[in-house]
Amino acid sequence: MLLVVGLGNPGGEYAGNRHNIGFMALDTIVQRHSFGSYRKKFQGEIAEGRVAGRKVLALKPQTYMNESGRSVLAAATFYKIPPADILVLHDELDLAAGKVRVKRGGGHAGHNGLRSIHSHIGQDYGRLRLGIGHPGDKDRVTGHVLKDFAKADQAWLDTLLDAVADNFELMAGGDDGAFMSKVALAVNPPRPKPPKPETPAPENAGNGGGGPDENAD
C-alpha cells in the first residue's frame, strides 16, 4: 500500500492558502482517479483508491500543519506502512512557482509540516515538492504562505494540479523522472517553432523550362 499525504491547514479560512497546495494536489488526485469519499480517521481525512495497480491511501491531516506527523504516524502504524511507501505532497518556497521535484529522504529544510513528520517517522519517506516561489525576504515568508494564491497564479496552479493528477500513475509506479518531465512539459509547453519562410518559385517555372517552342517556325 502507498500512503499519500497532502499537507495543509484545515478550515475554510485556509483553503486557498499557498501553504495548502498539498491538500489541493491530493484532492485533485482523489477526484481524477475515482477514489472513495473522504472519511474521518487517524486525526485526519482519508480516502482509498487504486493507482498503477497499487492500493493507495490518501490522507489529509486535520491537526494543523505543525502537528502533521501525529496523523501520519497513526495511519502508517495501523496499516503497517514503512516510510519508504509514504509520499508527502507539500508547498516548497525554494522552488519557483509551478516547478515540481520528487525527493526521497533527506532533511526537512525548515518546513514545519515535514519537521513534525520527521519527528514521528524519521526522514526516509518521499516528498513531492510543489513550488510556490519565495517572497524574497525571510520576514515575509509567513505572510506569503498563509495568503491565498493570487488571481494571476490561477492559470499555472490549475495546470500544475491537473498535470500532477494526470501523471500520478508514473510516480506511484516508481518512475519519478518521467513524472517530473511530464509535469514540467505540461506547465511549460515548448513554444511552437516559427514557420519556415517559403522558397520563391523560379522565374521561368511553368513554361517548360523557358526554352523556345520546338514547333516554332
Instruction: Compute the residue count for the chain.
Output: 217
- Active site residues per annotation: 19
Closest C-alpha to 154, from 6, 11, 21: 21
**To which H or E segment does residue 103 belong?**
strand 100-104
149: DSSP letter: P
Show Cβ contacts of residue 43 under 8 Å, excluding neighbours closer than 6 positions.
61, 62, 63, 70, 71, 74
CA distance to 52, 89, 105, 144, 151, per residue, from 70 (Å): 28, 16, 19, 26, 34
pLDDT digit of tens for each residue in the chain (217 aa)?
999 999 999 999 999 999 999 999 999 999 999 999 999 999 999 999 999 899 999 999 999 999 999 999 999 999 999 999 999 999 999 999 999 999 999 989 889 999 999 999 999 999 999 999 999 888 899 999 999 999 999 989 999 999 999 999 999 999 999 999 999 999 999 888 778 777 776 666 555 555 545 454 4
For residues 79 and 82, give the distance between their C-alpha atoms in angstroms, rounded to a whole number: 9
pLDDT confidence of residue 207: 55
For residues 131 and 92, give the distance between their C-alpha atoms in angstroms, rounded to a whole number: 5
pLDDT confidence of residue 216: 47
CATH architecture of 2-187: 3-Layer(aba) Sandwich (3.40)
pLDDT confidence of residue 157: 97
